[in-house]
């Protein structure tokens, strides 16, 4: 089989960081196309070991990645505080930080924004599930702050990469959905567009970009792979297109 992980181009150059985003389809031994559903809540997650087939070409397959029971909140876990980091799906939360080499960490998305943050100087990585609710709770900013407060990271050394998620082109929401953004993001017309039908187009990538800038991340250190999962539903799972499958975003440090 052949599984080609998608990369955030600007993160490839960091040789102590492994990262990859799972594509929707892969080629089986007989060259037919099969779906790569890496939803850990699916029954076949452990039986099929597809996650291992995805991680092997990346060199991050030695054990199951640590992941969370994602709940669209702002809870952050640091791997060095967890006694059994090989058992995933137990803790409720939406961001993981690792300072531990060879420990793979993963989040799962379908339209929500997967975010990788990396301290290039201290070699510390984080993966974040930033959907509408997590973004309104500034989960990216809070994860950056955790790196700064716990590990002494300097925001100037942190790079932020956005993976594939629903774009501002395809995310129509009601006015009420924007209320939670007013606490941290005013004015919200920086990442929303009012439509004639009284609804709004919401751009989560711009919102998270603004959040990262607010935390002191340099503009030139914020990278977007610029893929909308709804427009590119042939390449990635999309919740808005009613897909049950999930995309895995994985990161692992090398010593």
Q: Alpha-carbon distance 164 to 208, whole Å?
A: 13
Cβ contact 6:248 at 8 Å: no
CA-based nearest residue to 165, from 213, 131, 194: 131
Figure out which of the listed residues 82, 177, 231, 235 binds Zn ion, where binding follows CB under 5 A.
Answer: 231
Of 67 and 200, which CB lies nearer to Zn ion in the complex structure? Answer: 200
* Closest approach of Zn ion to the CB of residue 168, in Å: 8
Figure out which of the listed residues 27, 90, 169, 254 binds Zn ion, where binding follows CB under 5 A.
Answer: 169
Where on the phi/psi map is residue 116: left (φ > 0), alpha (ψ -120 to 50), or beta? beta
Of 58 and 177, which CB lies nearer to Zn ion in the complex structure? Answer: 177
Figure out which of the listed residues 131, 167, 243, 250 binds Zn ion, where binding follows CB under 5 A.
Answer: 167
Beta bridge partners of 66: 105
* Pairing relationship of beta strands 172-173 and 17-21 according to DSSP bridges: unpaired
* Closest approach of Zn ion to the CB of residue 157, in Å: 32
Number of H helices, E strands in the chain: 7, 14
SS3 category, 210: helix
Figure out which of the listed residues 1, 148, 218, 230 binds Zn ion, where binding follows CB under 5 A.
Answer: 230
User: Does 218 engage in binding with Zn ion (CB under 5 A)?
Assistant: no
Of 213 and 230, which CB lies nearer to Zn ion in the complex structure? Answer: 230
User: Does 228 engage in binding with Zn ion (CB under 5 A)?
Assistant: yes
* Binding range to Zn ion, per CB under 5 A, among 15-23, 78-86, 103-111, 166-174: 166-174
Q: Alpha-carbon distance 217 to 212, whole Å?
A: 6
* Closest approach of Zn ion to the CB of residue 244, in Å: 20
User: Does 204 engage in binding with Zn ion (CB under 5 A)?
Assistant: no
Positions that interact with Zn ion (CB under 5 A): 167, 169-170, 228, 230-231
């Amino acid at each position: 089989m052949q599984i080609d992980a998608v990369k955030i181009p600007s993160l490839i150059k960091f040789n102590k960081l492994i990262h990859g985003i799972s594509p929707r389809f892969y080629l089986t031994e007989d060259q037919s196309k099969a779906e790569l559903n890496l939803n850990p809540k699916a029954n076949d997650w452990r039986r099929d070991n597809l996650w291992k087939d995805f991680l092997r070409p990346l060199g991050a397959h030695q054990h199951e990645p640590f992941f969370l029971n994602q709940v669209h909140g702002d809870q952050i876990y640091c791997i060095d505080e967890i006694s059994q980091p090989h058992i995933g799906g137990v803790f409720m939360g939406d961001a993981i930080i690792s300072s531990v080499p060879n420990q793979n960490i993963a989040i799962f998305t379908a339209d929500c924004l997967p975010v990788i943050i990396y301290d290039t100087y201290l070699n510390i990585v984080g993966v974040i599930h930033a959907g509408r609710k997590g973004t309104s709770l500034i989960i990216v900013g809070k994860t950056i702050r955790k790196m700064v407060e716990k590990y002494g990271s300097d925001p100037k050394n942190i790079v932020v990469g956005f993976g594939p998620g629903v774009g501002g082109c395809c995310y129509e929401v009601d006015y009420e959905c924007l209320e939670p953004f007013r606490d941290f993001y005013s004015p919200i017309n920086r990442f929303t567009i009012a439509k004639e039908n009284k609804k709004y187009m919401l751009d989560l990538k711009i919102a998270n970009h603004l959040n990262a800038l607010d935390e002191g991340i340099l503009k030139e250190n914020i990278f977007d792979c610029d893929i909308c999962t709804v427009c590119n539903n042939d390449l990635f799972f999309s919740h808005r297109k009613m897909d049950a499958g999930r995309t895995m975003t994985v990161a692992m440090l090398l010593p």
